Chains A and B, each alone.
Chain A
Amino acid sequence: MILFFLCFILFMVGLYGIIMQRNLIKIIIGLAIMEYSVLFFLILIGYIDSATAPIISESFEEALFVDPLPQAMVLTAIVIGLATKALMLSVAIRLYKEYGTFDIRKMNTLKG
């Protein structure tokens, strides 16, 4: 249970980063932290105490193993996260080139 609570705290840390930080890179880091908390949560769903990894072996029939489906989901989510973050960082670099700063308060061409 405490692990779920820690996950939630991590989620909130990420959300704090997104909402309160003014630096583009720090906002992206906040989003990354948030993503990892969700991934931890997914792993925890499939976790069973004192179980083995879901690899088929000789003692497979008796062994209690953790749910492999959330792990597959997490791998897919990591791939998606990679694509999102690569795109986000390249946009951040472009924005730095345009404005000469990473501060979002200086970027205000869009209003209304």
Chain B
Amino acid sequence: MSTLIPLYIIVPLGTAFITVFFAKWLPGLGKYLINLALLFLTGLTIYLVIHEPQTMIYRVGGFTDVANIPIAIFLMIDGLTKILLLIISLVGLFVAFYSIKYTKQYTCEGNFYTLFGLMLAGMYGVVIAGDIFNLYVFLEIASISSYALVAFGIEKQQLEATFKYQILGGVSSLIILTGIGFLYWATGTLNMPDIATQLPKHDTFNIFVSVLLISGFGLKAAMFPFHSWLPDAHSSAPSPISAMLSGVLIKAIGIYVIIRLFFNVFSLSYEIAMTITVLGTLSMIIGVLLAVGQWDFKRLLAYHSISQMGYVFLGIGIGMLILSTGGDGKIAALSILGGLFHLMNHSIFKALLFLNAGSVEYRTGTRNLRKMGGLASRMPITSATSFIASMSISGIPPFNGFFSKIIIIIAAIQARYYLLSFFAVIVSIITLASFSKVLKYAFAGKTHEKHNEIKEVPVSMSISMTALALLCLLMSLLIIPSIREVFLTPAINVLLETSQYSVSAIGI
């Protein structure tokens, strides 16, 4: 079955190039091709999740290991990878379907789908790469296409946001490259399972490289002190792209890499775990405090992304703290479960919220909450789905956000981090307040006179939103033990048995 792994790179890249090639003769080809490609990849991912429980390894070019030294470029799929593949495919599919109508307003529709395909290829590549330099290359493919996509509408705001994003993204890439250089210097290899076995045990070096890598990937993931580009870039981009950036990109090229590196490649250390937990808590609190005062719909959502990413870091960080101090493995498992579950949930409901904001902007032409009002009677589907998503992000049962948040809070209490669990509850309440503001100003109340004529958005857009809203409900089912074993437990096991990563790959 591992022969299928390269398809995750071949299919999106092929789609992108074919779209450019036929752009002049068949201008509408790209949008349907990318939907088909994502449908295929979603099916493939679900198949792999259900039928292939072990770690799969693929050696590109067919080079076999020489005396246990891996020579080939590795592509690896394990439990943690699978949940990332799942959210990239699912969110990508619905966003691509939503874009069919949305991109009609742009002159170069074909280029949109080319860049979209390249971004997908980059994200899939980051997630399945087992080699740190290839990870960097795929990360850059994803980043560069996302820079271009943020500026796709060529408006003043978008250009400014993209410039800021590019400069900060460029600096973070260089920091990551320096970190990779140091890793290669110390170990003489670029293969991540091999680095894990070769890495010297002196702490100062490990901490120095860890700091470089945390700042680099933290910037990509918009962790607290590095968050300033996110609200600009995510709010200015075209709405489907905002949904991709907030829903998937910061997870695939930020959080995933941090989790992978500091659980499986570096040996667990208390200092790193503490850093991740503290930065996660700070981004959780500061993100939500900055979000409360916003009146721009998408900017508000972007600040909430920072805050919700804080929850993920909090869950992962507490698990790491417990593991590194040799505490109870069960609590660590619970905490990591919460973090990963929240990662999946956030990608679904944040993508949905950005698509809602896009629909509102598509019909009313404004993002300012003060200029909306009473849209519930005019756009029933948008309003209903955004109600579901808002309840989900604020942690109201029975939607998925509730379960992941409650798991993180319970784990924090069990691990005796009472202050952190208190903060998590408070932030959740402020989130609820902030989203009741959105619902009140945008959808409830009297219809603005200007907006008496508007209709519901086109069918393809409303189908995507409805599907994501249904997923918000269905994802709650992942908490049922028998379903959890299929999706989340393999991912947690990858993180709990940290040395298993190199054992399964190169047998050391």
Contacts and interface: CB of A to CB of B under 8 A. Distances in A.
A91 B151 contact: yes
B144 A83 contact: yes
B171 interface: yes
B163 A45 contact: no
A38 B173 CA distance: 10
B299 interface: yes
A109 B160 contact: yes
Interface string A72-84: 0100110010011
A110 B181 contact: no
A70 B160 CA distance: 35
Interface in B167-221: 167, 170-171, 173-174, 177-178, 180-181, 184-185, 190
A48 interface: no
Interface residues on chain B, size class: 35 or more
Interface of A: 15, 18, 24, 27, 31, 34-35, 38, 41-42, 45, 69-70, 73, 76-77, 80, 83-84, 87-88, 91-92, 94-95, 98-99, 107, 109-110, 112
B111 to A, nearest CB: 13
B277 interface: no
Contacts of B148: 87
Interface string B209-253: 000000000000000000000011000100000000000000000
A76 B133 contact: yes
Contacts of B137: 76, 80
A80 B144 CA distance: 9
Interface in B92-130: none
B147 A87 contact: yes
A69 B190 CA distance: 10
A7 to B, nearest CB: 10
Contacts of B133: 73, 76
A11 to B, nearest CB: 8
Nearest to A76: B137
B156 A42 contact: no
A34 B184 contact: no
A38 B170 contact: no
Given A76-B137, A84-B144, A112-B299, A95 B181 contact: no
A91 B236 contact: no
A98 B181 contact: no
Nearest to B170: A31
Nearest to A15: B171
A87 B181 CA distance: 25
B285 to A, nearest CB: 18
Nearest to A27: B167
